[in-house]
Chains A and B, each alone.
Chain A
Amino acid sequence: MSALLSIEGLGITFGGLKAVHDVGFSVREGEIVSVIGPNGAGKTTLFNMISGVYQPGAGRVSLSGEDVTGMRPDLLARRGLSRTFQNLQIFQSMTVLENAIAGYHLRESGSVLADLLGLPASRRRALTAREGARALLARVGLDRAAEREAGNLCYGALKRLEIARALALNPKVLLLDEPAAGCNAVETEEIDHLIAEVAASGVAILLVEHDMKMVMRISNHIVVLDHGEKIAEGDPATVSRDPAVIAAYLGTEADHADG
């Protein structure tokens, strides 16, 4: 199987500081790759570069073989890349259902004029999106909350809502930034299953997660970052035994104790 997402030598500097330096790996169809590392290792920055939120200072991102380095997020979305956020980016004033429908934007949007006039074409598109969104909400267990204002939901539910929204794009590559954060054990397990299910349907998944048990359980491949650089990669078993990884994690623990 060929790599859907591959990155080479990716790097970026903020104010002279190398936030991410020379990181490269690839994710294949149906594969779950996790990026782990201590706080401030550059995981979210890496996500932001891949998804076009930041312009990489160096390196290359390609999607199904096409060079998409620094491409706008909406264009990446058109090419099948979708993501969630560590710090939630929910459309607060919309209902839960509308948030999910927003994920259908690319498939439901048509002419503005049709939307203004409320033409049947526009309504039909909106209806299809609505039905799809409802099904997705059911899949993440939010169907009961569909009509509630999203701003009123608890953290874990919002995390799941973001996943639903990201899935609504019907992505080829899915970037999940700490999907299980703030979820209890039961919810985490549900998310586990969901991710595995999505991967099984052929989606390439890139995951950032702090819950090591979850990472070890579901990842096919793990990339370890520290201070913006890749210090190790391999299957879960290899990585967990890697001395550099252990040192990096212990080192940060010590830093935490100091600070």
Chain B
Amino acid sequence: MTVARFLPDMKSPTGRALRRFVGNPSAMLGLALMVAFLLVMFIYPAVSAIGPNSIDLLAINKPPSLAHWLGTDGVGRDVFARLLEGGRVSLLVALTSSVASLVIGFAVGAVAGLGGRFADAGAMRAVDVAMTLPPVILLLVLASITGPGIGPTILVISLLSWPVLSRLVRSRLLELGQRDFVVASRGMGAGLGSLIRRHALPNTIDILVVFVTLQVANAILLEAGLSFLGLGVPPPDASWGNMLFAARSTTVLTNYPWQWMFPGLALVVVVLAINFIGDGLRDAFDPRSEGG
């Protein structure tokens, strides 16, 4: 792999991890896709004249053409421009809420896994409450207090997604807690904080990475669901969620597929890219995969 040769032969573990990551073809594919996506998302609007919200009632529901690469929607807006603007909004919502739920989920899971029986029982009961709260009600109440918009959407989605991660992290750390090196470092007086930082994090990196990759997609879908309740990103602003949501009418579903298929396709590609990057990161940071 020519690229790997240019990188300095860094001796530090992150250096080696970086070189392994670069050497991993699928991870590089994922990275390339993401970078391409972000570039187009930020550069195209500055270049193109067609705004995401500029309507043209004489050109509604037109299939993809030279004028409108991906066709137009029900009010004549350019689907490609909305796809990009929607992409920015959806990715912003998805990434921030994924990271937020990652932090909460990991923290609760780690405390439960390593913090001893009482911390475990306490944390797990909190998780139970969070999981038993029917999402419909939480969505309705939180969103109606905070109203629609990107901020509340991120808050609602993060609050809904962390419990599952905390249970996964806890189950991994329960098993880990038995292992000698953890018992040993406890013996050397390592507090919960350093235990989490030095042992819990590296050993659950694979769960965390898989969670983030799945959570990005889940966040965008939740945002679409919010549109079902009239919340989420309010129209006329674009987001992949409310563009996908337009497909709930059978006519749009069958006669104007370009209006919902492209946001769906974009979402699948982004999720795939993030999955590849995630796998690449997990393999890169996994010391045992030296032979890989």
Determine if chain A interacts with chain B: no
Residues of A within 8 A of B (CB): none
